[in-house]
């Protein structure tokens, strides 16, 4: 039972690590070549970069801050694993 649970913990952490990497790459690719206009815990605002001599387009967007969502879920899953380990020890 202990070896199987250890394998579940390792696989879950590998999957969450890959999701964290992929979510950060998604946000970086969405913001590539643009200017960050706003940032908070839940969203990142962007706008196209201004080219000198051209009119500034009034287009702005906001994307969810996926890496923080994955990080929070990473912490929750590991806290659940720790709680299960403490309960099994007693």
Range of the domain at 34: 2-89
- pLDDT for position 90: 67
Q: Give the span between the Cα atoms of 75 and 63, in whole angstroms.
A: 22
Asked if residue 74 has pLDDT above 80, the reply is yes
- Count up the domains in the chain and report the number: 1
- pLDDT for position 51: 72
- Mean pLDDT across 54-70: 82
Token pair belonging to 36: 């960050």
Q: Give the span between the Cα atoms of 19 and 22, in whole angstroms.
A: 5
Which residues are CB-contacts of 26 (< 8 A; sequence separation ≥ 6)? Answer: 66
**pLDDT, the chain, mean:** 87
Beta-strand runs (E) in the chain: 34-39, 43-48, 61-64
Q: How confident is the model at residue 8 (pLDDT cuts 50, 70, 90)?
A: very high
- pLDDT for position 79: 96
Indicate whether this model's pTM tops 0.95.
Answer: no
């Amino acid at each position: 039972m202990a070896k199987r649970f250890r394998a579940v913990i390792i696989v879950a952490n590998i999957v969450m690590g890959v999701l964290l990497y992929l979510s950060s790459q998604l946000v970086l690719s969405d913001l590539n070549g643009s200017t960050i206009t706003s940032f908070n815990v839940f969203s990142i605002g962007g706008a196209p970069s201004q080219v000198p001599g051209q009119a500034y387009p009034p287009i702005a967007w906001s994307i969810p801050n996926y890496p923080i969502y994955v990080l929070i879920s990473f912490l929750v899953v590991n806290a659940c694993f720790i709680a299960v380990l403490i309960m099994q020890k007693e």
